[in-house]
């Protein structure tokens, strides 16, 4: 048992942190938000850091690194509220492609590692409400001639994507996990309409409307759902790490403000009501950091234990993000609610993380349903 | 970064587990698992069993007769004993006063006091709080006046846990009124059989006699029972607090009690009620987060690489969780928790009632647990400390 980072991981952290601090400051980010929430240039810079292929196998030109390395990167990107869909491409989509038919997946993985392709998972539907098995989008066909019809919503950076990974129903009822296959759908073809929009936190997303769209099978029904569930858990671990980075930074911003802002002739940091609040914020941050480690370190467990652990982590993160976000705005007073000041942007990102890959109530249901007699980190 | 224990650590755990299985008396663990009050004999028996193995001072270094375990081994020992239903070792001797005697006592004091603590034979109590000195401990007034080779002690201590059983008591006493309140305090070891000491029970709202008032009326204490230097007692007390780190969260007991909560809920037919079950699930998340926080501290201690100043957080969260599981257990029993059946809680351990849904003590335990956010530095005082660290001002 050991929670230290290796020297390589510390170097990786420094590399990403330096880029975020020097290359992705608040003013640049503001410009990217105004321009639609995605910057090709910033994406190129992220690729130049060498991290797009973090989890792409070495055979496809990647680094073949593991979950802890991903956590380190995401904490730093979270600190700077980086808008570009790093986790969606380099972790979530990559996780599925690594389990997919090689002929279809290998070129995608190579391009992801080079930073030249943006492949994203398009799984959410209007009525699925976080349930991965609830898939109305339908696929029919065989071998190399698949057709997919249906609508996916809130696809990260959907307007910039070069390909979509789409869960679609080949057979079974609307919530039958075994009847779901995973398909690769390219934009810019007949029957595919991408409707992009900005998101509440300044990033970009899109709805993906498919009508008899041409598709390539990535993973056949049977194995597909397990890969989808793993990808979602990879996504949760990434969000947890990102949230920890964002909360860490938001706490630092708030502490600085409390020590400089004066009211009643004294720094507001001297008032006990506020001191106790910041102590509670620190508590929620450390509980979240603990569960972010837990999420990352449990990714390699067998599926049932992994799912339970990741649900537990997302519940803690949900509780922590709401508390830290809301209270740090409150501690700032009026300046906290303005668009001009950074705190509100952290708050908005933390709020949107809650609603990605299962909110707190949904994941609490998962924890509840999967609860066993014994509990604990090693149970 | 790795969550798994090493093979050596796992082997160590197996060794502890087997020993506890063979040596923990079943009548004691049955009581612990059902929140039946433990008698002095129960507690003393377990202390001596540990003492014979050399584990009553499980955190002690080898030079003082301890096992010399590292932070992880200590944690595994605490975990295995807690999960097996062992009583919590009364900490005042082995965990609190012993490290102070080791660090600041003379060789004679070490020789005189440590063996009785190690064997579990001498029962120690703690004399810190006073009627006028709770969170503001440094304002304590119990006075010790030096006369020749003796101190004469006058005053009153309170909240003395299990003081009715105490053979000895370590006390913070005022030896000077000069300067800041903290600078005039000394650390005295006092034989509780000394003339002039009176112990009076305080009955808490659960009807239990767990805490006491201790009165000192011209009590003579030989000067060689002063630890370290006169007026330096506050420093030793702070050392003592710093010594009690991760165990303060009591996460191992929380894991055991969480299991028990599930058994009670199941027996009471409420485990499958979604609203109730979700509350248990939320608590389970809290327990795991707390355990991860404890493990982070242990790992940091082991490697010495990161500094993690979260002792205050562990105390706050650990106590909140204790209160929550005791509350949910009571609520799980529902109306069955209402009758006051004192005889069942006190001596009434009956094997035929060993069912998981042994509900008589549940309300009392919930009442009793209100203490956890108050003692050991109230949670509000802990928040002051955390805030100081976070704000740096």
Q: What is the pLDDT of residues B55-82, one digit of tens each?
A: 999 999 999 999 999 989 999 999 999 9
Burial-class residue A139 by CB neighbours within 10 Å (0-12, 13-18, 19+): buried
- The residue out of A204, A221, A238 marking a domain boundary is A221
C-alpha closest to that of B151 among B105, B123, B191, B200: B191
Q: How many domains is chain A partitioned into structurally?
A: 3
Non-local CB neighbours of A63 within 8 Å, separated by 6+ positions:
A50, A51, A53, A54, A55, A56, A69
Specify the pLDDT at position B343. 76
User: Is the same domain home to A148 and A24?
Assistant: no
User: Is the same domain home to A243 and A360?
Assistant: yes
User: Is the same domain home to A157 and A87?
Assistant: no
The alpha-carbon gap from B327 to the nearest alpha carbon of chain A, in Å, equals 19
Check A365 against B316: CB less than 8 A apart. no
Question: Looking at the partner chain, which of B293, B298, B383 has a beta carbon nearest the beta carbon of A290?
Answer: B293
Specify the pLDDT at position A370. 97
| A259 CB within 8 Å of a chain B CB | yes
Check A1 against B386: CB less than 8 A apart. no
User: Is the same domain home to A181 and A243?
Assistant: no
Which structure tokens are listed for A9? 């991981």
Question: Looking at the partner chain, which of B292, B299, B380 has a beta carbon nearest the beta carbon of A377?
Answer: B292
Check B392 against A371: CB less than 8 A apart. no
Query: Residue B117: enclosing H or E segment and its boundaries?
Result: helix B107-118
Check A286 against B302: CB less than 8 A apart. no
Distance (Å, whole) CA A269 – CA B393:
8
| A334 CB within 8 Å of a chain B CB | no
User: Is the same domain home to A39 and A159?
Assistant: no
User: Is the same domain home to A296 and A200?
Assistant: no
In a domain, A199, yes or no: yes
Q: What is the pLDDT of residues A158-202, one digit of tens each?
A: 999 999 999 999 999 999 999 999 999 999 999 999 999 999 999
Q: Are B199 and B164 within 8 A, CB to CB?
A: yes
The alpha-carbon gap from B9 to the nearest alpha carbon of chain A, in Å, equals 9
Low-confidence residues in chain B, pLDDT < 50: 351, 354, 356
Protein fold of B244-391: Butyryl-CoA Dehydrogenase, subunit A; domain 3 (1.20.140)
Q: Residue A274 belongs to a domain with what CATH number?
A: 1.20.140.10
Q: Mark which residues 49-88 of A lie under 8 Å from B by CB.
A: 68
Check B259 against A373: CB less than 8 A apart. yes
3-class state of residue B203 by DSSP: strand
Residue B17: count other Cβ atoms within 10 Å of its Cβ: 16
Specify the pLDDT at position B346. 72
Check B285 against A316: CB less than 8 A apart. yes
In a domain, A376, yes or no: no
Tokens 């290998």 belong to A106
Check A279 against B285: CB less than 8 A apart. no
Distance (Å, whole) CA B185 – CA B138:
8
Question: Looking at the partner chain, which of A4, A286, A312 has a beta carbon nearest the beta carbon of B313?
Answer: A286
Distance of alpha carbon A46 from the chain centroid: 16
Low-confidence residues in chain A, pLDDT < 70: none
Specify the pLDDT at position A82. 98
Specify the pLDDT at position B327. 98
Specify the pLDDT at position A373. 93
C-alpha closest to that of A231 among A352, A315, A114, A105: A105
User: Is the same domain home to A106 and A178?
Assistant: no
The alpha-carbon gap from B276 to the nearest alpha carbon of chain A, in Å, equals 10
User: Is the same domain home to A217 and A241?
Assistant: no
Q: Are A182 and A224 within 8 A, CB to CB?
A: yes
Instruction: Suggest the residue from A280, A322, A368, A373 to mutate for an interface test with chain B (most B CBs closer than 10 A).
Output: A368
Protein fold of B124-232: Butyryl-CoA Dehydrogenase, subunit A; domain 2 (2.40.110)
Check B292 against A293: CB less than 8 A apart. yes
Residues of B in contact with A298 (CB under 8 A): 3
In a domain, A194, yes or no: yes
Model pTM score: 0.96
Which structure tokens are listed for B360? 């008589």
Instruction: Suggest the residue from A73, A236, A271, A286 to mutate for an interface test with chain B (most B CBs closer than 10 A).
Output: A286
- Domain region containing A133: 120-221
Specify the pLDDT at position B306. 67
Residues of A in contact with B317 (CB under 8 A): 283, 287
Q: Residue A109 belongs to a domain with what CATH number?
A: 1.10.540.10
Instruction: Suggest the residue from B246, B318, B387 to mutate for an interface test with chain A (most A CBs closer than 10 A).
Output: B387
Which structure tokens are listed for B325? 């599981």
Q: Are B213 and B202 within 8 A, CB to CB?
A: yes
Query: Residue B79: enclosing H or E segment and its boundaries?
Result: helix B71-83
Q: Mark which residues 213-252 of A lie under 8 Å from B by CB.
A: 251
Query: What's phi and psi for A72, nearest 5 deg?
Result: -60, -45
- The residue out of A92, A117, A142 marking a domain boundary is A117
Please report, for chain B, the start and end positions of each structural domain, with discontinuous segments joined by +: 7-91, 124-232, 244-391
Q: Are B360 and B40 within 8 A, CB to CB?
A: no
Q: What is the largest CA-CA distance in chain A?
A: 75
In a domain, A1, yes or no: no
Question: Looking at the partner chain, which of A291, A312, A375 has a beta carbon nearest the beta carbon of B255?
Answer: A375
Distance (Å, whole) CA A104 – CA B118:
68
User: Is the same domain home to A156 and A105?
Assistant: no
- The residue out of A99, A117, A135 marking a domain boundary is A117
User: Is the same domain home to A143 and A181?
Assistant: yes
Could you give the residue numbers annotated as active site of B?
244
User: Is the same domain home to A127 and A102?
Assistant: no
User: Is the same domain home to A298 and A233?
Assistant: yes
In a domain, A2, yes or no: no
| A371 CB within 8 Å of a chain B CB | yes
Q: What is the largest CA-CA distance in chain B?
A: 70
The alpha carbon torsion through B296, B299, B304, B309 (nearest 10 deg) reads: 20
Residues present in chain A in total: 379
Residues of A in contact with B316 (CB under 8 A): 283
Distance (Å, whole) CA B73 – CA B88:
17
Question: Looking at the partner chain, which of A255, A283, A371 has a beta carbon nearest the beta carbon of B284?
Answer: A371
Residues of A in contact with B281 (CB under 8 A): 315, 364, 367-368, 371
Check A259 against B393: CB less than 8 A apart. yes
Question: Looking at the partner chain, which of A291, A297, A364 has a beta carbon nearest the beta carbon of B281?
Answer: A364
In a domain, A153, yes or no: yes
Instruction: Suggest the residue from A287, A328, A369, A374 to mutate for an interface test with chain B (most B CBs closer than 10 A).
Output: A287
Q: Residue A128 belongs to a domain with what CATH number?
A: 2.40.110.10
Asked if this assembly's ipTM is beyond 0.90, the reply is: yes
Burial-class residue A187 by CB neighbours within 10 Å (0-12, 13-18, 19+): middle
Check B258 against A3: CB less than 8 A apart. no
- A-B C-beta contacts closer than 8 Å: 147
């Amino acid at each position: 048992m050991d929670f230290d980072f290796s020297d390589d991981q510390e170097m990786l952290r420094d590399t990403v942190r330096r880029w975020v601090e020097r290359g992705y400051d608040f003013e640049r980010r503001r410009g990217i938000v105004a321009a639609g929430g995605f910057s090709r240039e910033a994406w190129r810079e992220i690729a130049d850091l060498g991290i797009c292929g973090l989890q792409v196998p070495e055979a496809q030109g990647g680094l073949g690194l593991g979950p802890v390395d991903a956590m380190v990167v995401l904490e730093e990107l979270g600190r700077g509220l980086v808008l570009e869909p790093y986790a969606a491409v380099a972790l979530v989509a990559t996780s599925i492609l690594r389990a997919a038919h090689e002929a279809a997946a290998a070129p995608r993985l190579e391009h992801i590692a080079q930073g030249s392709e943006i492949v994203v998972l398009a799984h959410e539907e209007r009525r699925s409400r976080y349930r991965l098995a609830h898939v109305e989008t339908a696929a029919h066909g065989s071998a190399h001639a698949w057709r997919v019809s249906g609508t996916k919503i809130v696809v990260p950076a959907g307007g910039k994507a070069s390909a979509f990974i789409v869960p679609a129903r080949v057979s079974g009822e609307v919530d039958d996990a075994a009847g779901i296959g995973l398909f690769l759908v390219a934009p810019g073809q007949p029957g595919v309409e991408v409707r992009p929009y900005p998101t509440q936190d300044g990033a970009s997303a899109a709805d993906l409307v498919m009508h008899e769209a041409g598709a390539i099978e990535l993973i056949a029904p049977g194995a597909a759902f397990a890969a989808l569930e793993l990808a979602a858990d990879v996504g949760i671990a990434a969000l947890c790490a990102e949230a920890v980075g964002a909360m860490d930074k938001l706490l630092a911003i708030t502490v600085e403000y409390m020590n400089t802002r004066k009211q009643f002739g004294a720094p507001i940091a001297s008032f006990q009501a506020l001191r106790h609040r910041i102590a509670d914020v620190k508590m929620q941050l450390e509980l979240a950091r603990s569960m972010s480690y837990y999420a990352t370190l449990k990714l390699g467990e067998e599926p049932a234990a992994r799912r339970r652990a990741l649900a537990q982590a997302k519940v803690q993160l949900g509780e922590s993000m709401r508390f830290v976000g809301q209270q740090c705005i409150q501690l700032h007073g009026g300046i906290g609610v303005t668009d001009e000041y950074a705190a509100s942007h952290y708050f908005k990102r933390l709020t949107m993380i809650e609603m990605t890959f299962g909110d707190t109530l949904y994941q609490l249901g998962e924890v509840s349903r999967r609860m066993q007699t014994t509990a604990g980190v090693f149970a | 970064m790795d969550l798994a224990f090493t093979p050596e650590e796992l082997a160590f755990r197996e060794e502890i587990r087997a020993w506890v299985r063979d040596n923990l008396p079943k009548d004691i663990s049955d009581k612990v698992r059902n929140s039946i009050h433990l008698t002095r004999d129960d507690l003393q028996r377990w202390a001596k069993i540990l003492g014979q193995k050399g584990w009553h001072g499980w955190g002690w270094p080898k030079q003082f007769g301890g096992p010399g375990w590292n932070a992880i081994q200590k944690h595994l020992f605490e975990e295995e004993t807690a999960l097996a239903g062992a009583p919590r070792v009364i900490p005042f001797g082995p965990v609190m006063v012993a490290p102070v005697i080791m660090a600041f006592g003379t060789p004679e004091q070490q020789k005189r006091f440590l063996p009785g603590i190690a064997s579990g034979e001498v029962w120690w109590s703690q004399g810190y709080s006073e009627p006028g000195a709770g969170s503001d401990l440094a304002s304590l007034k119990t006075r010790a006046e030096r006369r020749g080779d003796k101190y004469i002690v006058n005053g009153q201590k309170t909240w003395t846990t299990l003081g009715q059983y105490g053979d000895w008591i370590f006390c913070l006493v005022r030896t000077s009124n000069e300067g800041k309140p903290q600078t005039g305090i000394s650390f005295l070891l006092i034989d509780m059989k000394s003339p002039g000491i009176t112990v009076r029970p305080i009955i808490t709202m659960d009807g239990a006699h767990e805490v006491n008032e201790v009165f000192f009326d011209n009590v003579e204490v030989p000067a060689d029972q002063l630890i370290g230097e006169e007026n330096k007692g506050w420093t030793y007390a702070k050392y003592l607090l710093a010594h009690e780190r991760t165990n303060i969260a009591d996460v191992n007991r929380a894991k055991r009690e969480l299991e028990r909560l599930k058994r009670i809920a199941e027996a009471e037919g409420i485990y499958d009620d979604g609203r109730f079950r979700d509350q248990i699930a939320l608590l389970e998340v809290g327990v795991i987060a707390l355990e991860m926080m404890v493990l982070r501290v242990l790992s940091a201690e082991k490697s010495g690489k990161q500094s993690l100043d979260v002792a205050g957080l562990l105390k706050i969260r650990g106590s909140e969780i204790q209160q929550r599981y005791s509350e949910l257990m009571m609520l799980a029993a529902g109306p069955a928790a209402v009758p006051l059946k004192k005889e069942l809680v006190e001596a009434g351990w009956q094997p035929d009632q060993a069912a998981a849904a042994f509900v008589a003590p549940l309300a009392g335990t919930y009442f009793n647990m209100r203490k956890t956010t108050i003692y050991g530095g109230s949670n509000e005082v802990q928040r002051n400390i955390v805030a100081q660290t976070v704000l740096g001002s």
